[in-house]
Amino acid sequence: MADRKPIKSWLTDMDGVLIHEGVPIPGADAFIKKLRESDRPFLVLTNNSIYTPRDLHARLRRMGLDVPIENIWTSALATAQFLDDQRPNGSAYVIGEAGLTTALHDIGYVLTDHEPDYVVLGETRTYSFEAMTKAVRLINAGARFICTNPDETGPSTEGPLPATGAVAALITKATGRQPYFAGKPNPLMMRTGLNTLGAHSESSAMIGDRMDTDVLAGMEAGMQTFLVLTGLTRPEQVEDFPYRPSKVVDSIADLVDLV
């Protein structure tokens, strides 16, 4: 890390880094406050496509974390930007919640089940067999298959829930078509986020709690990476991966002085 440029902008995951099961992680408020006071460009990222940035701003604020709407970057926004670049003013059949449908509406997409350009799969708590069947038939008829993120499970107070990646596997099995994932670990999400900030990867850092998404995406995007141990990846698991973060720290509190 000694040869790296000073960090001028920060990207950080949300769940497992700033909050855990609806409760702020100690040090998260100080980190966000320091970022805002220093005027450092930053984004809070999430692979969860359920909520809009406005929703997440309100949820975080209730927890005592004041993150402006424009500093929140979701896999739904990354997916929408990708589709807008690929096929402007297109159409999509969407399985997902308001975070995804709003992002697609905002780029001028028509949401339809009649010969859509894309089938777009996102996170939802109400996956239905009927919707998945329709997605399979539309993909078989020629629609391109896009997913917001590859996470196979998501957290809940009762335990893990099937997530986008698991449902995508079902649709792939039924169609033989692999989706394009826009969210982490695809560095596309990181690079579009950096472009939003007007930042350069050489002077940017990514903070995450998962080796297989956050650290991988940050590394492939050319950023410094910090793994915090307040989420999914345990210390003994770091050596299981063929790549390493720039630094492993106990929590976000250990990074406040670096801002």
Pairing of strands 23-24, 42-46: unpaired
DSSP lists the bridge partners of residue 140 as: none
Instruction: Give the active site residue among 3, 15, 240, 250.
Output: 15
DSSP state letter for 244: -
User: Locate tokens 């986008």: which residue?
Assistant: 164
CA 20 vs. chain centroid, Å, equals 16
User: Is 151 designated active site?
Assistant: no
DSSP state letter for 22: T
User: Is 13 designated active site?
Assistant: yes
- Could you tell me the two tokens for 76? 């739904």
CB 60 within 8 A of CB 74: no
Report the distance separating Cα 117 and Cα 65, nearest Å: 39
- Could you tell me the two tokens for 6? 């000073």
- Could you tell me the two tokens for 58? 């309100």
- Could you tell me the two tokens for 123? 């996170």
Instruction: Give the active site residue among 3, 13, 85, 212.
Output: 13
Report the distance separating Cα 3 and Cα 124, nearest Å: 43
Residues annotated as catalytic are 13, 15
